[in-house]
A = this chain, B = another copy of it.
Amino acid sequence: MIERRQARRVAVGDVAIGGTAPIAVQSMTNTDTSDPAATLAQIARLSDAGCEIVRVAVPHASALAGFGEICAASPLPVVADIHFDHRLAIEAMRLGAAKVRINPGNIGSLARVDAVIDAAGAAGISVRLGVNAGSLAAEYQDRDWPLAEKLFASALSFCEHISGRGFADLVVSAKASSVNSTLDAYRRLAPALPYPLHIGVTEAGTSRSGTVKSSVGLGILLAEGIGDTLRVSLTADPVEEVLVGWEILGALDIRRRGPELISCPTCGRCEVDMVPIAQEVERRLRGIRTPVKVAVMGCAVNGPGEARDADVGVASGKGVGLIFRHGEIVRKVPEAEIVDALMAEVEALGREMADPAG
């Protein structure tokens, strides 16, 4: 249904961005890069949650020693996030970065951009050109243009310069904290550039508001076929960014990781306490990789209809749950046993799907 924009395919370590490659989910560590143990522990948690590319800030030279150790041990390709000092980008590539992200608005002169690009070209490493509303180059910041036009013009001008230098392994982003400005910027970039686009809404906010802004913004772009990799920006544990990223892709049936849970809104018809049941099911499903559709329904009105559509479901009545599989009632259990009974069916279905001959 969604016709994806065609973009060049760019390698980030063993993960591809663009072309027909799956839209990759990224996040960024918030540990101190000069503490490799803490950073690697967080990367492991991010990887478990489904993160596919991880970005690590290299804010100053003292972070470089840790950075090399992180790249060597990380299970995910590591992107060095560089601001201000282009020499950090060059050193990060030498130390094992799979990609570097530079912000043309604050890296300094074109000669410095060229030094980074030439080093990346020689090493076969990709570069993200990450333009950002908060740090546009002064020549754009001060113009009386709509923000999206500034973001677009800045990105386009740097892309043209870099392309003229013969470097093509670019990924481009142009983020603003306003969803509408972000949409506007990416809608301008998409037809104008051959490169894959990294999409995101920056400074999106705390867990709730950031989740909503990212879901609205990235959802609209993805539905228009725009976006080859994404990062959800939250002021929260970065694991949450990864989970939300996957939920966005799943919501549009673009990619799914593990089970899909549908559950009732609560209403005055509920005769069991739905919220803890659904939360507990969600928590336990996190360890399951089988792409089953699981329904947790609080009443008889919509329950059976939706549970029929699900692989496994429960429709609850007064203190009991009717466990369904593909629309057939398989068990009736007391409320306290609903979660266990539902998970037992999910696991049984998982085994059958893994070994259909049984």
Contacts and interface: CB of A to CB of B under 8 A. Distances in A.
Determine how many copies of this chain the complex contains: 2
Interface stretch (A116-124, A157-165, A174-182, A329-337): A174-182
A203 B303 CA distance: 10
A231 B220 CA distance: 19
A208 B244 contact: yes
A106 B296 CA distance: 21
Contact of A212 (B1, B133, B211, B265): B211
A226 to B, nearest CB: 13
Contacts of A223: 183, 216, 220
Contacts of A248: 212, 216
A136 B206 contact: no
A235 to B, nearest CB: 4
A173 to B, nearest CB: 13
A84 B270 CA distance: 16
Interface residues of A, number: 89
Contact of A268 (B29, B132, B212): B29
Nearest to A66: B268
A104 to B, nearest CB: 14
A206 B278 contact: yes
A216 B213 contact: no
Interface stretch (A56-64, A189-197, A348-356): A56-64
A265 B202 contact: yes
B278 A205 contact: yes
A16 to B, nearest CB: 24
A263 B215 contact: no
B81 A253 contact: no
A303 to B, nearest CB: 7
27 contacts: A28-B267, A29-B267, A39-B268, A57-B267, A83-B301, A136-B305, A177-B309, A178-B253, A179-B251, A203-B264, A203-B302, A204-B262, A204-B265, A206-B261, A206-B279, A206-B282, A212-B248, A215-B215, A215-B219, A216-B248, A219-B219, A231-B265, A233-B264, A235-B278, A235-B279, A236-B266, A236-B275
Interface of A: 1, 28-33, 39, 55-59, 63, 81, 83-84, 106, 132-136, 141, 177-180, 183, 202-213, 215-217, 219-220, 223, 231, 233-238, 240-241, 243-244, 247-248, 250-253, 261-270, 274-275, 278-279, 282, 295-297, 301-306, 309
Give the top 7 A-B pairs by smallest Cβ distance, nearest first: A216-B219, A57-B268, A134-B302, A215-B215, A134-B305, A233-B265, A30-B266
